[in-house]
Structure 1
Amino acid sequence: MDAADGFRELDRQECLRLLPTVPVGRIVYTRQALPAVLPVNFCLDRDGAVLVRTSAFSELVSAIDGAVVAFEADEVDAAAHCGWSVVVMGTATVVTDSAEHIRLLRTGPRSWAPAPQEVFVRIDPELVTGREIVGGRSAHGVHFPS
C-alpha cells in the first residue's frame, strides 16, 4: 500500500520506534481453538522483543507459552482521522532464566494488576509490520492533501 490509498507502510525500525510510545497493546492468541484478544501493558526489550508481566498462574501464560502469537498496538486520533497500527508476530515464551528474570524486574514492564507470583512473557519479533493512515494528517504531524 502507498499513500495514494490512504495508508503508508511502516518499516520495521519505524514500528519499533512507535511501539513504546503507547502504554497498552493487545495479544492475539488461540483459546480453546478460538481466537482471543487480551489488552496488556507492555514494554520493549533492548532486542525489540515485546515483554509482558503477568500472573504465573494466568490462563494467558498457559495458552501462549511456546505458541506463535500476534501483538498489536496503535494510536488513533479520531478527530484528525490519523493514526498508526503495528503488529508483531512471533513465539511467546515465559522467561525462566533467573538472571534474566532479575534483570527484567528492574527494566521490564510494571504490572497494572500485581499478582503474588509474576512471570515475564517475551514475544520475539519474528515479523513486524505496520501502517499509518495518511488521509488527513499523519501521526507524525505532516499534512497530506486529501
Structure 2
Amino acid sequence: MHNDPPQAPTEVLAAGACWDLLRGVSVGHLAVLVDGYPEVFPVNYKVDHDTVLFRTGEGTKLRAAGGPLAVALEADGHDDAQAWSVLVKGKAVILEPSEELLTGAGLTLFPWQSGEKNHFVRIVPTSVSGRRFTITSPLTWWNHVEHGAAG
C-alpha cells in the first residue's frame, strides 16, 4: 500500500508559454538528420520574433541545418518544484549577415565554444509544444529489496 500524495498532472503548455520559457534560457539541443541518422548538438540560441536564432561555424551542423530536412530544437529548465521541456520543430534557414541581424538578436548571441561562428541560422517553426510537470521526490522511486541468501 502506498501513501504517496497524488501528483499534479502534466501541464500541456500553450505556444505563448513555450516562447516565454525559451526566452528564459539560452542553451538548447539542435536535432538534425545526417546520413539518415539523428545527431544532436548543443547550441546557444536567442528567441527572435517567435523564431530561434543560433550561430555556428562550418561543419556537420551547418550542412545538415541548411539542407532540405526539418530540424528540431529542445530546451529544458527547472526550479525546486517544477520542470519543463519545450520542442520547436521547423525549417532552418541560413541567413545572410545584415545590419538588422548584427544589431538585433545577433548582437547578443554568444556561443560558449571558441572558434569562428560566422553563420547565423534561424529556425522557422512549424510547431511549438511544451510540457511542465511537478518534480517527484527521489524517495518515490525507492524500492527496498531484500537480498536473500542463494539456496
Structure 1 residue runs without a partner (length 5+) = 137-146
Partners in 1 of 2:90 and 2:51 — Cα distance? Answer: 9
> C-alpha root-mean-square deviation of aligned residues, in Å?
2.4
Please name the residue that 1:69 is paired with.
71
Q: For each residue in 1:21-62, what CA deviation from the matched residue of structure 2 results, as whole angstroms up to 9, or x when unmatched? A: 1121001110121011111111111x211011111x121000
TM-score normalised per structure 2? 0.75
- 1:104–1:120: 8 Å Cα contact kept in structure 2? no
- Which residue of the partner structure matches residue 141 of structure 1? none
Tell me, yes or no, if the aligned pair for 1:6 and 1:135 is still in contact at 8 Å. Answer: no
- The two structures have a TM-score, normalised by structure 1, of 0.77
Aligned-pair CA distance for 1:106: 4.9
Say whether the 8 Å CA contact 1:8–1:133 is kept in structure 2: yes
- Structure 2 letter corresponding to 1:93: V
Give 1:117 shift.
5.4
- Deviation string 1:73-116 (CA, Å, 9 cap, x unpaired) is 01135x64x20000001100110253444345753511222433
2:14 — aligned with what?
11
Partner SS state of residue 64, structure 2: helix
Larger Rg: 2
Aligned to 1:110: 110
In 2, distance between residues paired with 1:117 and 1:11?
33
Q: Which residue of 2 aligns with 1:23?
A: 26
Identity of aligned residues (%): 33
Aligned partner of residue 16 in structure 1, secondary structure: helix
**Contact preservation (8 Å) 2:71, 2:91:** yes
The Cα shift of 1:134 comes to 3.2
Distance 1:123 1:43 in 2: 11
